[in-house]
Structure 1
Amino acid sequence: MKIALFGFSGFLGSHLLCHLKFEMISVNMRQIDWNNSIPKNVEIFINLIGKAHDHKGTATENDYYFANVELTKHIFQEFVKSDSKLFIHISSIAAVEEFESESPLKEQANSNPVSIYGKTKREAEKWLLEQKLPDHKKVIILRPAMIHGPGDKGNLGLLYKIISKGIPYPLASFDNNRSFLSIDNFCFFISEIIENKDRIDSGIYHICDDEPVSTKTVIGIIKKVTNKKTINLSIPKILIQGIAKIGDAIPFPINTKRLKKMTGSLLVSNEKIKNTLHIKTLPVSAEEGLFKTIKSFKNK
């Protein structure tokens, strides 16, 4: 089976290339004639292209729109012209909710994106869902919770740097639970969709680990990996929230939105896709996946 992979050089793409046991065609959209590099007999398109992080602080709204919407349109149009039967598009749970959800988010939940990232991911979803498909073609839109693994450059790495340096964690007064997705389980979901493509219908599916994990548990794993005995500070919530409001008005390391992301509960349900694909248990537990990721930070 031949699979066209878009976004092969990124974090997700590099892991999929190692994990999937199929003939992978890495498509470079920076080439002028990229569409001519896709073999006619490709059976599946996987779109991993997207812009999430802006570590340099130089990205514009147009940059996000181009990466998350326009390129998706171009790839989909090639999919429609091809003989391929399945288009797998990686969206994000940020297309639905970015801060808090005390109950596990299901696919029919009202969308409430706030950032330009979440909004452009949602716009790409809506555009794909509006397209008319030939009867023999399917479009699967996946909304992963926060994905992590070796090579991850997201927020887990920042938290690791703080705790590994012995800096006290100041938000221990907040109790929360968040859904994550280890890169191993992400690759497993993709593999299962490919293997069972006749069983799954077009539509949106949420993917995450089976168990949510609290920030305190994540910190405990970091301490175990680094052998640090950093203390946790239970500063009163009202004081932290007051400091965050100051950050809304002036440049400051923390503001209200960032505090919500760090301390709020954001739960995701993977019930729909597990039922559809008859998956009972994922290969890696949430804590096992986090331990593997955090251990990889230590080995850098």
Structure 2
Amino acid sequence: MIRKTVVTGAIGFVGSAVVRELLQRGGFEVLGLCRAIQASAEPAPALAAVGDLVEAELSGVLHGADAVIHAAARAHIMKDEVADPLAEYRRVNVEGTLNLARQAAAAGVKRFVFISSIGVNGNINTRPFRVDDQPNPAEPYAQSKWEAERGLMQLAAETGMEIVVIRPPLVYGPGAPGNFGSLVRWVEKAVPLPLGAIHNQRSLVGIDNLVDLIIRCIDHPAAANQVFLGGDGEDLSTTELLRGVGKAMGKPARLIPVPAGLLQFGATLLGKKAMVQRLLGSLQVDISKTCELLDWKPPYTVEEGLQRCFERSN
């Protein structure tokens, strides 16, 4: 049976990877939605520009869909120039998500898969986050994702449309934006980095593992109205990650063993405490519920994921 699946953010990092994999696997009629079609976008069998999801009228594109995978979002913006970042995150990530979801429910969509963020749990921990931990979003982006999750679960209770929430940690892969992209550029340029003695523990998820999990959630019976944490099932220190990136690139990372305490002190003096915390702090994720309830395990190890990342980008 061919299943019509609508994917938002279809030219973004995660959304485009989902579209590619669905098409490769077969058995899906895929419609990708994006704000606007860019000249540089990869060709897709079906891609529709729908504008701002807050105001979009979507009944036509949602007609006959079995599932919606909502990967579009206003994500981390390092130099945010809007006057009220939280208000803008709420507008896009909460109002836009709920407008899409309400119209999906009205169109008879059976399941709505929402890509949230581990930031809903928090941005640092001393033990692995579990899915049943009390949410503790510390940033506007994560706060908006948490509010969207709550709105979706309320909508599920009202309409009967099944909701699945996936909270991934840092996602890496070819062309990944954000922190991983910065690490790759540093290693590629052979920049000496004072990160050779960092003993934190961080969970990551490769784009291939995340996409496999998302697709598992499209129709797995046990996924309905559940929240899942994503991850590779392996934790690395920042030092180990940089070495892994270098190995996969064939360009060993140039790491200088500077004590973490000294780095934190210097970062505080320079006003870079938040940035350095992402490099030095621990953030671990317990994916046991995800694996057990969905009978799933990450298809690729971190080493394999990094290798695939740079094989594709060459």
TM-score category of the 2 structures, normalised to the smaller one: 0.7 to 0.9
The whole-number CA distance in structure 2 between the counterparts of 1:226 and 1:142 is 30
* 1:278 and 2:310 correspond: no
1:160-188 alpha-carbon deviations (Å, 9 max, x no partner): 22222222220223201211111111111
| Of 100, 106, 117, the match for 2:141 | 117
Q: 1:169 aligns with which of 173, 187, 193?
A: 193
1:146 paired with 2:170, answer: yes
Between 1:232-241 and 1:141-150, the stretch displaced more is 232-241
Q: In 1, are the aligned partners of 2:117 and 2:145 still within 8 Å (CA)? A: yes
TM-score (norm 2): 0.84
The alpha-carbon deviation at position 222 of structure 1 amounts to 2.8
- C-alpha displacement of 1:78: 0.6
> Is structure 2 residue 295 aligned with structure 1 residue 265?
no
Per-residue CA deviations over 1:191-232 (Å, capped at 9, x if unaligned) read 212242x23231211111121122222211233244445542
How far residue 290 of structure 1 moved from its aligned partner, in angstroms, is: 2.2
Contact preservation (8 Å) 2:193, 2:254: yes
Q: Which residue of 2 aligns with 1:242?
A: 265
Taking structure 1 as the reference length, the TM-score comes to 0.88
> 1:92 and 1:66, CA in 2 relative to 1: closer, same or farther beyond 3 A?
same
Structure 2: distance between partners of 1:216 and 1:265: 12
Equivalent position of 1:191 in the other structure: 215
- Letter aligned with residue 269 of structure 1: D
Q: Give yes or no for the alignment of 1:79 onto 2:104.
A: yes
For the residue of structure 2 that corresponds to 1:103, the secondary structure is coil
Q: Is 1:66 matched up with 2:91? A: yes
The alpha-carbon distance between structure 1 residues 227 and 33, as it changes in their structure 2 partners (threshold 3 A), is closer
Which has the higher mean CA deviation after the structures are superposed, 100-109 or 84-93?
Answer: 100-109
- Looking at structure 2, the residues matched to 39 and 65 of structure 1 have their Cα atoms a distance apart, in angstroms, of 23
SS of the counterpart of 1:199?
A: helix
Conserved 8 A contact 1:4-1:46:
yes
CA shift in 2, pair 1:102/1:293, >3 Å? farther
TM-align CA RMSD: 2.2
User: Counterpart amino acid of 2:309?
Assistant: T
Amino acid at match of 1:238: G
- Structure 1 CA distance, aligned partners of 2:227 and 2:151? 13
1:28-59 deviations in Å (ceiling 9; x for gaps): 33177641332432111111111113256434
Counterpart position of 2:40: none
Instruction: Kindly indicate whether residue 31 of structure 2 is the aligned counterpart of residue 25 of structure 1.
Output: yes
The size of the alignment, in residue pairs, is 289
Verify the 8 A CA contact 2:10 2:16 in the aligned structure 1: yes
Deviation of the 1:96 alpha carbon: 1.2
Q: Could you tell me how far apart the structure 2 residues matched to 1:209 and 1:123 are?
A: 26
Match of 1:233 among 225, 246, 256: 256
- Give the Cα separation in 2 of the matches to 1:49 and 1:220: 32
Which residue number corresponds to residue 44 of structure 2?
none
- Structure 1, unmatched stretches of 5+, are 249-254
CA drift at 1:117: 0.9
* Cα distance in 1 for residues equivalent to 2:191 and 2:216: 41
| Distance across 2 between alignment mates of 1:7 and 1:256 | 31
1:230 to 1:290, Cα distance in 2 relative to 1, 3 A: closer
**Which of 206, 220, 228 is the equivalent residue of 2:243?**
220
Structure with the larger RCO, 1 or 2 (CA within 8 Å, 6+ apart): 1
Query: Residues 85-127 of structure 1, C-alpha deviation per residue, up to 9 Å, x if partnerless?
Result: 11111110011111x2232211111222222111111111122
